[in-house]
Amino acid sequence: MDQQEPDSHSKIERGPTVIARYLNTIDGSPGVYRMLDGQSRVLYVGKAKNLKNRVSNYARGNAHAPHIYRVIAETASMMFLTTKTETEALLLEQNLIKQLKPKYNVLLRDDKSFPNILVGKNHPFPQIKKHRGAKKEKGDYYGPFASAGAVNRTLNQLQKVFLLRNCTDATFDGRTRPCLLYQIKRCSAPCVGYVSETEYAASVRDADQFLKGKSTRIQAELAKDMQKASEEMEFERAAALRDRIRAMTQVQSAQGINPRGVAEADVIALHMDGGQACVQVFFIRANQNWGNHDYYPRVSSQNSKAEVMQAFLGQFYSDREPPRLILISDDVEDRALVSEALGEKAGRRVEVAVPLRGEKMELITGAARNARESLARKMSESATQTKLLLGLAEAFDLDAPPTRIEVYDNSHIQGTNAVGGMIVAGADGLIKSQYRKFNIKGEDLTPGDDFGMMKEVLTRRFKRLIKEDPDRESGAWPDLLLIDGGQGQISAVHEIMVELGVEDIDMIGVAKGIDRDAGKEEFHRIDKGVKALRHNDPVLYFVQRLRDEAHRFAIGTHRAKRAKAVSRTPLDDIAGVGGKRKRALLAHFGSAKAVGRANLADLKAVNGISEGLAEKIYDFFHEGG
């Protein structure tokens, strides 16, 4: 690949003339282009089979969608990355869009990973558990499931059917008697030898077969075993087998409509209305419906369905493994290219299809109905949110309804493990991707000094905003701050903001009334006196929800920090000792103190500890000694 930097001009020019200057610096190679504004911020990322042709098209001002005309008019410079193939350009384009989040591209905003079920293979009695993230652990993965709830329900039922353990290896090794799961018939208690390795392996194989969709044979065998146990008057065993068959049936019914002719597919349907879009994704694996998830990509009213669908596919699969079949409701511009790019990423053939009849069409129709209904609900919620923001502005005499509200809270126990939390809300409700936590670093703070902690949080927050976006063009600046506290707290915050030179942001302090009952909150503003809202005012409920969400987030962050501190040892400060080696050392010696007392030869004997690392650990504990 090669890259040309944008020309520098003493006076910033924009538009087709600027774009035309690049025609002499590029050729007909495939690649990716970036269009930048006068401050070198990325406006738009696109790919082209022939870069020269595409740029020439922009320079001539040929017929474009309105949003592309706006991009051209704002373009002050361009950057190019050439690739060997158009497929490579498509993959690179989607990676850059996801990374840079350009102003005018269709953007997938929800980037969550999906959970899987993992049946481990690194233990004589494998564990079955929920897994999220990189598939580094040895075992068989089944998924994706649309939500943690869908996984948990399935795991629950699978435990009833196959009696596989879900405890960690450390817990398994330390047990001397069965746990509660054995008592409630969710585990066969291999930890204490109640089931042989051979019998347990057979249950693991059955679970594998079931998760691959081969449940009919397993049910038939269980029914046969139940009949045999009944004939031999082993009624307790027959009842246990009956319960397992019933649990398996519940799993199948919980999965909803299971397609007979589609073994593995993602079903993706798009609905657009009023400049908004909803994409529904259903996961079909092993002829079973493993749930669905909805997305609301950032689009404009000028984006076509083909454009939105292609952008969604590229970004959705940029860090996920695509299935062998992807069914889509609306065709894309170059379906063969998209299939080729996804296949190259997966290392096998991936088919992208637009079904027109049969069961596949029924799946798309159902997904499209869900997309339509979900978008209608979303738009209704947005309308309600808009009314609440308008009501908030009226209640507190704000100049306009706020577009971004930031709510701050602190959490600590007698000053220890102190953290600050910031949540964000706007026209679409809570914006969880914008939440931020602040580990309180001030060494001169008095333990429990809430004013001092708030000062540190706000100072760090706004110093960064001033540095990164002094012109306030990114949308990251709030126009309203909600602070958990009364007049003293809001006055302290005001002083901080004046000190930073940021005096034009509204702020409201939310304090409980004299008897500290929810519903009798008092609201404080600088030079405005104390205000209360009627107990059934929707704006009051709205502010309470925001404050409670900030408190929940701060408390959760504090608990996570405290839990991490409890498990921390001096080993965490040694370069080269990660989680795995730390566990190996603690398992070998029993405690970090014992590691510190160990001689060099004993350290070298630990599995996974090299001679060099052993010397580093020894030196760490014996410096100056």
Boundary of a domain, candidates 100, 126, 148 = 100
Query: Dihedrals φ, ψ of 254, to 5°?
Result: -70, -20
Rounded to whole angstroms, what are the CA distances from 295 to 56, 133, 276?
35, 20, 11
Residues 6+ apart with CB under 8 A from 323: 264, 265, 266, 284, 285, 350
Query: Dihedrals φ, ψ of 430, to 5°?
Result: -70, 135
Q: Which two tokens stand for residue 24?
A: 């002499």
Do 55 and 135 sit in the same domain of this protein?
Answer: no
Do 585 and 534 sit in the same domain of this protein?
Answer: no
Average pLDDT of span 577-589: 80
For residue 518, give the DSSP letter.
T
Confidence at 606, pLDDT banded by 50, 70, 90: confident
Q: Can you state the angle between helices 305-316 and 86-100, rounded to 10 degrees?
A: 80
Assigned domain for 555 exists: no
**Pick from 84, 108, 80: nearest CA to 94:** 108
Do 246 and 269 sit in the same domain of this protein?
Answer: no
Do 539 and 434 sit in the same domain of this protein?
Answer: yes
For residue 126, what are the domain limits? 116-254
Assigned domain for 109 exists: no
Distance between CA 127 and CA 165 in Å, rounded?
Answer: 5
Amino acid identity, position 255: Q
Q: Can you state the angle between helices 305-316 and 335-346, rounded to 10 degrees?
A: 10
Q: Which two tokens stand for residue 391?
A: 């009501």
Boundary of a domain, candidates 254, 272, 289 = 254
CATH number at residue 369: 3.30.420.10
Assigned domain for 355 exists: yes
Q: Is the pLDDT of residue 625 over 70?
A: no
Do 531 and 585 sit in the same domain of this protein?
Answer: no
Assigned domain for 514 exists: yes
Do 133 and 235 sit in the same domain of this protein?
Answer: yes
pLDDT in tens, 34-90: 999 988 899 999 999 999 999 999 998 767 778 888 999 999 999 999 999 999 999
CATH number at residue 24: 3.40.1440.10
Q: Decide: 42 and 2 in contact? Cβ < 8 Å.
A: no
pLDDT in tens, 158-174: 888 888 998 888 888 88
Do 158 and 201 sit in the same domain of this protein?
Answer: yes
Q: Is the pLDDT of residue 554 over 60?
A: yes
CATH number at residue 455: 3.30.420.340
CA angle at 236 for the pair 234 and 240, rounded to the nearest 5°:
115
Average pLDDT of span 198-212: 86
Burial (0-12, 13-18, 19+ Cβ within 10 Å), 87? buried
Query: What is the pTM for the complete model shown?
Result: 0.67
Assigned domain for 473 exists: yes
Do 269 and 245 sit in the same domain of this protein?
Answer: no
For residue 432, give the DSSP letter.
G
Do 268 and 242 sit in the same domain of this protein?
Answer: no
Do 416 and 434 sit in the same domain of this protein?
Answer: yes
Do 409 and 541 sit in the same domain of this protein?
Answer: yes
Amino acid identity, position 67: H
CATH number at residue 611: 1.10.150.20
pLDDT in tens, 2-38: 444 444 444 688 899 999 999 999 999 999 999 999 8
Boundary of a domain, candidates 65, 100, 135 = 100
Do 445 and 480 sit in the same domain of this protein?
Answer: yes
Assigned domain for 503 exists: yes
Number of domains comprising the chain: 5
pLDDT in tens, 241-300: 777 777 666 655 544 456 778 889 999 999 999 889 999 999 998 888 888 899 999 898
Q: Decide: 531 and 523 in contact? Cβ < 8 Å.
A: yes
Assigned domain for 448 exists: yes
Assigned domain for 180 exists: yes
